[in-house]
Structure 1
Amino acid sequence: MKKVLITGGAGFIGSHVADRFLLNNYEVIAADNLVTGNIDNINGKNIKFFNIDIRDREKLEELFKNEKPDYVIHLAAQVSVSSSVEDVLYDAEENITALINILELCKKYNTEKIVFSSTAAVYGIPEEVPSREANKTAPLSPYGLSKLTGEEYIKMYSRLFGVNYVILRYANVYGPRQSAHGEAGVVSIFNDKIKANGDIFIEGDGLQTRDFVYVKDVSGANYICATEDIKNETFNVSTNTDISILKLFNTMKKYSGYEKDAFHKEARKGDIRNSRLDNNKLLKNTSWKPEYTLDQGLKEYLDK
């Protein structure tokens, strides 16, 4: 039985990735410091859990030495754009220094492959829509920059030390277990307000567009890119479709029975107007394909 180590394994995406590997009879190890992860996401499942901060090289090495994972799915990260602006050093420690710890141990213990979770934020203001993997990267925040720097470290470890990798740049991920607190996605924020029958606020005119991808499609991409014969590639993970925030609200309103109208507030400064990721490279090079349209994903999510 092969082993997979999922950093951030108790988190929103990480716990779904764990579910996907369990479904395929892998031995699953989750490492999480539970700062944003939730142990309830993995309780009762056949998962070996380690409460570890991946900045702690000594504890992390002990885990690698004892478990010797075949694959590492690296999801643990500081993911808040606003927090990255407020505390640039912490963002760099979590997203760059901790990643180097992981890469050093992948090298030392001959891990077959690392799958790294990156982000559409590396593109900054897109030079074209949809954004393609070969497009210019110009992140607007420390978060986007730390993720892009992480990508470059991974490529360097591949060139110098033969560490195999796949980098996945996510569009806007949504689905069950996503917290509506902190730097949450707009879908989870709307869902939280809908369930509480609270007021919903849309920034600006609501005509800004985003590409939303269901978390189960993201977990599928992680599983496929780890286990298929693919290495040293960068892929966008998306549905390659976009929707305005206003239309998103109206769709969720229709499916949930929410009766209030949304309020509009001032647009966020520096907000990207339109964002969509081209997923053709992932479709052509792997067996992955999105199983959920936005309508299907929202219906399943709102039913939970």
Structure 2
Amino acid sequence: MMKVLVTGGAGFIGSHTVKLLREQGYQVVVVDRLAEAAMPGRDESVSFYQLDLVSEQLEGVFETERPDCVIHLAAQISVQRSLKDPCQDAENNIMGTIHLLMQCVRFGVKKLVFASSAAVYGTPESIPIQETDNTDPQSFYGVSKLVAERYIHSFAVQYGLDYVILRYANVYGFKTTRSGEDGVITAFVERILSGQPLEIFGSGEQTRDFVHVQDVAHANVLAIRNGSRDIINISGGGGISLLEIVGLLRELSGVEPALHFLPPQSGDIDHSVMCNRKAAEQLNWMPYYTLRDGLHTLLRHEAQYKTGLHLQPPGTCQPKLTGISSM
């Protein structure tokens, strides 16, 4: 049985990836700075280590567990936080990756799957973005991800470590643990179900490429056995504006939200849509969820979650949730 170590396995993408790995028969080890309680309903067969990637204890984990493959998801993921604290961003995303790579080489890991980001491209030369396009990140977060990519490539050249780098588009989906920086779709859904105005930074005409978290988890698992020393976009493959997202949510929820427009945020890109053809060719992967289906599922889960925990504030708008029913 192949053993896979997942860094950031208690997080949003990590928890979905761990669940899928177990369903497919992999032995799983999780390393995460979050407490084990962040993984409700965790499979008891999953070994869990609460520590930071730069910790000296990481070597002991590798010595004990001897993983065959590593899926590296642990990261500082906020563009805005990276601009406020670039040192911490670099510590997490660059130094953490280097320390992990050293253990991979020392203990004979066969392959590393790395979670990178569309942020490495910066303002695109053309749409859709190809993996061969130039990289020119506009935020410290994007810089840290690109530097980590370069270190992975250098470790492959120096030590023969195999890898696949997956550049994610905007990942969305239901999550029970919230950080306050959970992405525009999560923010929109939370606010629309609570009767609050939707905050839009900029004109709302900026376009994004969204991919469901379960599709991302599937790509992570496929990359264990497919692809070699390659960089691959993982995306929905189509762009949609924030105002169009609002329109879809209005249609699916039956709620007419108020819109609150704010100045654009530093580091944001106006248009980001990635080509996912290479993922189909190299990983045999295509997104399963359409954006409409993904939003429908997210709205339903979020409504059930709020109702179950009695989080709906008294006196606020109760959405009709048109078309949202148990499946």
TM-score interval, normalised by the smaller of the two chains: over 0.9
Kindly state the Cα deviation for residue 163 of structure 1 after the two structures are TM-superposed: 0.5
* Cα distance in 2 between the residues matched to 1:269 and 1:163: 36
Q: Helix, strand or coil for the counterpart of 1:173? A: strand
Q: Helix, strand or coil for the counterpart of 1:10? A: coil
Amino acid at match of 1:113: K
TM-score scaled to structure 1, two decimals? 0.94
* Cα distance in 2 between the residues matched to 1:203 and 1:60: 40
Question: Cα 1:251–1:38, aligned 2, differ >3 Å: closer, same or farther?
Answer: farther
Instruction: Give unpaired runs (5+ residues) of structure 2.
Output: 302-327
> How many pairs are equivalent?
301
Q: Which residue of 2 aligns with 1:51?
A: 50
Is 1:243 the counterpart of 2:273? The answer is no
Q: 1:182 aligns with which of 180, 183, 186?
A: 180
Q: Which residue of 2 aligns with 1:25?
A: 25
* Cα distance in 2 between the residues matched to 1:199 and 1:41: 31
Q: 2:271 aligns with which of 274, 291, 295?
A: 274
Q: Which residue of 2 aligns with 1:215?
A: 213
Q: Which residue of 2 aligns with 1:88?
A: 86
* Cα distance in 2 between the residues matched to 1:41 and 1:277: 33
- What is the correspondence of 1:1-304 to structure 2 with a 5 Å cutoff? 1-34=1-34, 39-41=38-40, 43-44=42-43, 46-56=45-55, 58-177=56-175, 181-228=179-226, 230-269=227-266, 271-304=268-301
Amino acid at match of 1:259: E
Instruction: Give unpaired runs (5+ residues) of structure 1.
Output: none
* Cα distance in 1 between the residues matched to 2:261 and 2:44: 42
* Cα distance in 2 between the residues matched to 1:45 and 1:121: 36
Deviations along 1:263-282, one digit per CA (max 9) or x if unpaired, are: 32333355321110111111
Kindly state the Cα deviation for residue 41 of structure 1 after the two structures are TM-superposed: 4.5
Q: Helix, strand or coil for the counterpart of 1:60? A: helix
Using the TM superposition, name which of 294-303 and 151-160 deviates more. Answer: 294-303
Deviations along 1:228-273, one digit per CA (max 9) or x if unpaired, are: 3x21000000011011100101111221222323232333355321
Amino acid at match of 2:261: H
Q: Helix, strand or coil for the counterpart of 1:169? A: strand
Amino acid at match of 1:40: M
Amino acid at match of 1:291: Y
Q: Helix, strand or coil for the counterpart of 1:241? A: coil
Deviations along 1:128-183, one digit per CA (max 9) or x if unpaired, are: 11111110100111111010000000000001100100000000000011755433
Question: Cα 1:188–1:139, aligned 2, differ >3 Å: closer, same or farther?
Answer: same
TM-score scaled to structure 2, two decimals? 0.88
8 Å Cα contact 2:15-2:39 kept in structure 1: no
Kindly state the Cα deviation for residue 44 of structure 1 after the two structures are TM-superposed: 4.9
* Cα distance in 2 between the residues matched to 1:14 and 1:60: 18
* Cα distance in 2 between the residues matched to 1:89 and 1:270: 17
Question: Cα 1:3–1:284, aligned 2, differ >3 Å: closer, same or farther?
Answer: same
Question: Cα 1:235–1:22, aligned 2, differ >3 Å: closer, same or farther?
Answer: same
8 Å Cα contact 1:256-1:302 kept in structure 2: yes
Deviations along 1:56-76, one digit per CA (max 9) or x if unpaired, are: 0x2111110010111100000
Q: Helix, strand or coil for the counterpart of 1:281? A: helix
Kindly state the Cα deviation for residue 11 of structure 1 after the two structures are TM-superposed: 0.1
Question: Cα 1:42–1:121, aligned 2, differ >3 Å: closer, same or farther?
Answer: farther
8 Å Cα contact 2:80-2:267 kept in structure 1: no
Deviations along 1:104-151, one digit per CA (max 9) or x if unpaired, are: 111111111000000000001111111111101001111110100000
Identity %: 41
The structure with more radius of gyration? 2
* Cα distance in 1 between the residues matched to 2:249 and 2:44: 31
8 Å Cα contact 2:192-2:257 kept in structure 1: no
Q: Which residue of 1 aligns with 2:314?
A: none
